Amino acid sequence: MTSNALSTLQLNKAVSRRFNEDVKNRHDLSVIDELLSPQFVNRSPIPGFADTREGVKGFFALMFAAFPDFSCRIAESIAEDDKVVEYFANEGTHRGEFFGIAATGRRVRFEGMHIFALRDGRITEHWNVLDQWA
Provide the mean pLDDT of the chain. 95
Q: Is 121 left (phi over 0), alpha (psi -120 to 50) or beta?
A: left
129, 118, 131: which is closest to 17 by C-alpha?
118
Quote the longest CA-to-CA distance of the chain.
53
Given a cut of 60, whether residue 62 has pLDDT beyond it is yes
Given a cut of 90, whether residue 72 has pLDDT beyond it is yes
Given a cut of 80, whether residue 33 has pLDDT beyond it is yes
Band of residue 6 on the pLDDT scale cut at 50, 70, 90: low
40, 120, 115: which is closest to 83 by C-alpha?
115
